[in-house]
Structure 1
Amino acid sequence: MDFAYDAVTEGYRQRLLAFMDEHVYPAEPAPDLAALQRVARERGLWNLFLTGEHGAGLTNLQYAPLAEIMGRSPSLAPAALNCAAPDTGNMELLAGFGTPWQRDRWLRPLLDGRIRSAFCMTEPEVASSDATNIATRIERDGDQYRINGRKWFATGGMSPRCEIFVVMGRSDPDAPRHRQQSMVLVPRDTPGVTVVRGLHSFGYDDGDHGGHAEIEFADVRVPAEHLIGGEGDGFAIAQARLGPGRIHHCMRLIGMAERALELLCRRVTARVAFGRPLAEQGVVQDWIAESRVRIEQARLLVLKTAWLMDTVGNQGAHTEIQAIKIAVPSAVEWILDKAIQAHGAAGVSQDTPLAGLWSRARTIRIADGPDEVHRRSLARRELRRFSP
């Protein structure tokens, strides 16, 4: 078992670390995303997440430490490298399930960073943790599909560059439970599409880098060739899309935790209370030690999961994907909480990135399936091993 990065990964790591120091961190107060993207492309730091012909050709295991570095500035770095959700998942979806026409029309401009996209799955009126509850209707009408429903927390939907929505809805209510759903591509400017409002997470939005939208689809019509895969394939396609998305979240979360721990250590060595540096307080040392342990545990589990996805496929890594989705956001939320505590009032203010990072970690305990759903599924998998 070799824990060293291979030569390809290390080469990308060094280039990415330099890019972060020279361009991303200095730009955080007033980002110019277009300028950052130009530099990233010039340095070959583009579409690193995507395997195969369309991306850099990295494995999940090679990409993991790179996504971790991006996670140190999650609002800016992933977008600068064209590795930001939900575009990553939508590009993977189009690459894997799109027709040649769909890939040429939508995947190509997404790969070039010319447009953005949104994934419309979650709904305000149903428990979307169970994707079979989705109520939005997708009905065949001649050579078109008609869409009616309401979606929300469609990340990317508030970006002025968002041009395409990937919409999941119910196409056949009488089919077996996991064959009732389909997916269609809906251009943003289609008549009947209304972006109702932007939604905040704990008061934060992502501006041009994402922005969560509530969207109404009222008798929206798109050509039949906008269907992704076949009718009834929507649930399976969604699961194929969400697996890589979950591990990408966890990869970036580790970078968020590393930055939080770094800020925590700098703060407590510079501040004095009750006659001695905060770093000498036993409770603070406890926080630091526990933070390092949790980061190392989380990183190893994520790397194992990435390796399994590369070697036995996403389905073969299903247990580990669920395990990281449970363990990593919770661990990182704890670390961020302690970093905020050490900063006092500054920790909850806009003067450090900590409050924004905490909101992301807490939100990911809900996004792509809440903790409780993953725990239930994981427990059932374990129990099956012992069932007669």
Structure 2
Amino acid sequence: MSAPDRTLAEPFEGSGELRTLRDQVREFLDEEVIPAEPELAAGGPTARATLTALQDKAKANGLWALPHPRELGGHGLRLAEYLCISEIEGRSAYGPVALGSDSLLDALMLQRYGGAEVRERFLEPLVQGRLTPCFGMTEPGRSGSDPSLMITRARPDGGGWVIDGHKWFCRAKDADFITVMCRTEPLGVPHAKAFTMFLVPLPSEGFSVVRPLTVLGAEDGHCEVAFDGVRATARQMIGGRGEGFPVSGERLSLGRTLRAMRWLGQAQRAFDLMCNRLHQREAFGGLLATKQLLQQHVFDSYTDIRSARSQVLRAAAMLDAGQDVYIEVATAKVLASNALYQVLDRAVQIHGAEGLSDSTPLAEMFRWARATRIYDGADELHTHMVAKRILKRYEQGGGYDFSAV
């Protein structure tokens, strides 16, 4: 097979060192991670052993924790630099965890907003892959698109706090700690100041896993969990009292941007499979690659990836510059999730019955692609909020400048 067209994987020229690093990550994904996907997907002790071996190889090859700050033991890549790496990591759902970048959101959150005790106990082992985090925000029976509806509470008690409530779709199965969003202020306090986040080590008395959750029939570590009188101290707060929304908002902006780029890595892998399939299969007197309708699938997939990718890079540049990013990040999330879904749908269609089976990775990829349109806020929420903010500018006599860099 000929080498892939690098224009699909290069957001900018970058330094020679960055290009070399990007090629090393791609080689590691193609030669180490992707071949191990069946073992990793099977779960159990064999999967854990395989993952540990991959992580050890990544560390030995200088590919571990590339986006983490140097002071935390990482490579120190800036967001704009790391995006071209995250795109390649995302070609496999196991890429980020194999390369130690999946903990970036939690590590930055603890570094910026955790107290001295939390940072000393959790931060370094988290970056080194010795601890597994999870994040508890969404609640069963409540609209995850409206976090103000959360009812998990933390109440003051004897100089500390007691947490009661339920969370779900958090990866608590093998987690060593959970960061949980709780209401700490009475009704009537503005939502932006009514919630606080606590880091709860696991296991903790009063914490339990209610049940594992499946995503379209498959388990991937998501659980429903319960807090029944879980005790915490003020030193376990992430940010100050009432600062849960601002801290989680910063986390979500970065998380949506990173995941959007990883989703595009998945889309590019599906694009590769689709285009190769068109050159390998004959029907009705010629290669599928010669059929005009199927060429339309190639064109549509190419433009979906390109347009979404440009928007993700714009959002990342604005994040790096410290600008107001909601419109750009939310738009990037919607475009990337839809690009992934549409490209995979076309790739499955072109593979026919084989695309529905486990003979290719497409079926499993398609399952996760459907979930992306709900994760990190449903697409409908972001569509509504982006349009609302843009229209408000016009209502106030302003406008939207598409020529602005």
> TM-score if structure 1 supplies the norm length?
0.93
Secondary structure at the aligned position of 2:352 is classed as: helix
2:289–2:295 Cα contact (<8 Å) kept: yes
CA shift for structure 1 position 256: 0.5
The yes-or-no answer on 1:63 pairing with 2:82 is yes
Aligned to 1:341: 349
2:166–2:226 Cα contact (<8 Å) kept: yes
CA shift for structure 1 position 274: 2.2
Aligned to 1:282: 292
Q: Equivalent of 1:191, from 183, 205, 212?
A: 205
The yes-or-no answer on 1:22 pairing with 2:31 is yes
CA shift for structure 1 position 143: 2.3
CA–CA distance in structure 1, aligned partners of residues 238 and 81 of structure 2: 29
- The aligned runs of 1:217-236 (5 Å cut-off) are 217-236=227-246
Identity between Structure 1 and Structure 2 (%): 39
Aligned to 1:42: 60
Q: Equivalent of 1:149, from 165, 168, 171?
A: 165
Moved more, 116-125 or 49-58: 49-58
Deviation string for 1:100-122 (max 9, x for gaps)? 21011111211110110110000
Partner amino acid, structure 2, of 1:173: P
Q: Equivalent of 1:77, from 87, 91, 95?
A: 95
Partner amino acid, structure 1, of 2:359: D
- The aligned runs of 1:1-388 (5 Å cut-off) are 3-31=12-40, 32-51=50-69, 53-54=71-72, 55-74=74-93, 76-84=94-102, 87-154=103-170, 156-159=171-174, 162-174=175-187, 175-206=189-220, 211-311=221-321, 313=322, 315-388=323-396
CA shift for structure 1 position 52: 5.7
Consecutive unaligned residues in structure 1, runs of 5 or more: none
Secondary structure at the aligned position of 1:28 is classed as: helix
CA–CA distance in structure 2, aligned partners of residues 224 and 141 of structure 1: 11
CA–CA distance in structure 1, aligned partners of residues 159 and 368 of structure 2: 42
Moved more, 47-56 or 190-199: 47-56
2:196–2:244 Cα contact (<8 Å) kept: yes
Partner amino acid, structure 2, of 1:338: R
CA shift for structure 1 position 276: 2.0
CA–CA distance in structure 1, aligned partners of residues 200 and 392 of structure 2: 40
CA shift for structure 1 position 167: 0.5
1:204–1:356 Cα contact (<8 Å) kept: no
Partner amino acid, structure 1, of 2:109: L
CA–CA distance in structure 1, aligned partners of residues 117 and 290 of structure 2: 63
Secondary structure at the aligned position of 1:216 is classed as: strand
Secondary structure at the aligned position of 1:245 is classed as: helix
Runs of 4+ in 1 over 6 A off after TM superposition: none
CA–CA distance in structure 1, aligned partners of residues 318 and 294 of structure 2: 36
CA–CA distance in structure 1, aligned partners of residues 364 and 257 of structure 2: 20
CA–CA distance in structure 1, aligned partners of residues 186 and 116 of structure 2: 29
Matched pairs, number? 375
Moved more, 343-352 or 237-246: 343-352
RMSD: 1.5
2:29–2:95 Cα contact (<8 Å) kept: yes
